[in-house]
Amino acid sequence: MIQQHLRQLLPEREVYPSAAFALLCGSAAAVLVWKWLGKRQIQKRMEEARRTRDEGVKKMAKAVQQFREQVPHVQTDAILSLPLLELTERLREGSLSPKTVLYTYIEKALEVTQQTNCLRHFIPECEEQLQEIQQQREKGLLYGIPVSIKDHIGHKGHLSTCGLVQCLGTVVQEDSVLVKVLKSQGAIPFAMTNVPQSLFNYDCSNPTFGQTLNPFNHHKSPGGSSGGEGALIAGGGSILGIGSDIGGSIRLPSSFCGLLNVCPLPNPVPCALGPMAKDVDSLALCMKALLCEEMFQLDPTVPPIPFNEDVYSSSAPLRVGYYDTDGYFPLPPCMRRAVQDTRRALQAAGHELVPFCPPRIHHVMNELFLKTFFADGGRAWLDFIGDTVDPSLKSQVNCCRIPRLGKKLLALILKPLVSPWLQDQSTVVSATP
């Protein structure tokens, strides 16, 4: 009986390893197919996004061509050379039409993005907005002004991608507060600009829409993350743009592209939206338009404090603190020279300039800023980015993917070697006149 029972069990034991192996192979194949299908789906979304962008460019190019045929004698260079204050005045008095200004800037934006790839998408609804502002009873402070906005600033009917492939299928259902206020002031959002993947890069490139170039030197970056805005405005394709800043995302593109910016929150963690333009008067006009009753009602996080024209226009001497290095980020001589030139100009105008050094900057950057952003070892950031990684981010992504034990071992090895070098660099920068 026992032998017979063993004979019955033996075939099952012989079959079991082959069945397990087959099951394992089947599972592995299923995983590979599932990953392939996922990548293929992402690739289709990327291709569709590029196709939509290209179709939008062709549509706008055709609209500009039709306008030029209808109004062949428009002096586009004269319009593009007008500063924002003069342009708004000409629009309000009627010597220039919003339609002429809009198509003039669309034409220039087409030229700039062909050279720099700064646009993510045109906003075709700008033509409808053009009709709406002409029916408004009161002309807002930005009446008829074409405005470009950064990719992630929500506009109804369009994507808000942040440079991430995961966001390519999500269309914004409602205008953001900022877009609503801009429209209420008569502005015409006409283009959305390119950004780096996840907005967390000082370059401007993402896997879907590619690399944005600096308009002054195509071998250089426009900076990030508001790099598309910086390139478009610097190239003359927009007179006023809206970017956002957490750790330099407006300030760096403005610096790289020779623009001015307003970032009202110096704290490096809360995100601050702000205008980007070529001169101070343009920024001031934009802030006057944005700090209005509608903004205060729509966004409770904005203090209900209107723009103070008396303070802005006052000629009373100011006490201004300044520094030309923080002892952490080494600056090139040209940037430090620009700060010193500004200091001398302000002193000559009667203002008091007080030098200071930001306190405990190494502690702030290493212990507070970096460790706050990567408190989870970069896990949330890696989850956002996914498997499709832009080349400009690969080194950062690979560092975050190192296992925790590996990071600790590397820190033990590299800290004694790197720390003295960083201290030497800080001393050299601080001592440079």
For residue 272, the domain's CATH number is 3.90.1300.10
Clarify whether residues 332 and 258 are in a common domain: no
Clarify whether residues 154 and 192 are in a common domain: yes
Closest CA to 336 of 428, 248, 274: 428
User: pLDDT band at 6, cuts 50/70/90?
Assistant: very low
User: pLDDT band at 422, cuts 50/70/90?
Assistant: low
Task: Name the domain boundary from 292, 315, 338.
Answer: 315
Structure tokens at 155: 């506009």
Pairwise pLDDT comparison (352 vs 2), residue with the higher score: 352
Task: Name the domain boundary from 315, 331, 347.
Answer: 315
Q: 322: helix, coil or strand?
A: strand
Clarify whether residues 260 and 354 are in a common domain: no
Clarify whether residues 272 and 328 are in a common domain: no
162 in the Ramachandran plot: left (φ > 0), alpha (ψ -120 to 50) or beta? Answer: left
Clarify whether residues 343 and 267 are in a common domain: no
Q: Residue 187 above 90 pLDDT? A: yes
Q: 302: helix, coil or strand?
A: coil
pLDDT score of 262: 62
Q: Residue 179 above 80 pLDDT? A: yes
What contacts 24+ positions apart, CB below 8 Å, involve 385-389? 385/164, 385/197, 385/198, 386/42, 386/164, 386/165, 386/166, 387/39, 388/39, 388/42, 388/46, 388/165, 388/207, 389/197, 389/207
User: pLDDT band at 423, cuts 50/70/90?
Assistant: low
Task: Name the domain boundary from 266, 298, 315.
Answer: 315
- Spatial separation of the C-alpha atoms in residues 262 and 277, rounded to whole Å: 9
Q: Using one digit for the tens of pLDDT, what is the confidence trace for 138-156?
A: 899 999 999 999 999 999 9
Q: Using one digit for the tens of pLDDT, what is the confidence trace for 205-223?
A: 999 999 999 999 999 999 9
Residues marked as catalytic:
150, 225, 249
Please give the mean pLDDT across all residues of the chain.
88
Clarify whether residues 308 and 323 are in a common domain: no
Q: 150: helix, coil or strand?
A: strand
pLDDT score of 296: 95
8 Å CB contact between 253 and 226: yes
- Within 96-159, residue ranges assigned H as helices are 98-116, 126-133
The reply to whether 374 falls in a domain is yes
Closest CA to 152 of 207, 102, 225: 225
Least confident among 169-183, 370-384, 418-432: 418-432
Report the number of distinct structural domains present in the chain: 2
Closest CA to 392 of 202, 192, 113, 120: 202
The reply to whether 24 falls in a domain is no
Q: Residue 3 above 70 pLDDT? A: no
Percent of the chain with pLDDT over 90: 63
pLDDT score of 19: 73
The reply to whether 23 falls in a domain is no
- Tell me which residue range forms the domain holding 226: 42-315
Q: Using one digit for the tens of pLDDT, what is the confidence trace for 99-136?
A: 999 999 999 999 999 999 999 999 999 999 999 998 88
User: Strand 188-193 and strand 260-261: pairing?
Assistant: unpaired
Q: Using one digit for the tens of pLDDT, what is the confidence trace for 280-326?
A: 999 999 999 999 999 999 999 899 999 999 999 998 999 999 998 88
User: pLDDT band at 266, cuts 50/70/90?
Assistant: very low
- Spatial separation of the C-alpha atoms in residues 150 and 147, rounded to whole Å: 10
Q: Using one digit for the tens of pLDDT, what is the confidence trace for 17-49?
A: 677 777 777 777 776 777 777 788 889 999 999
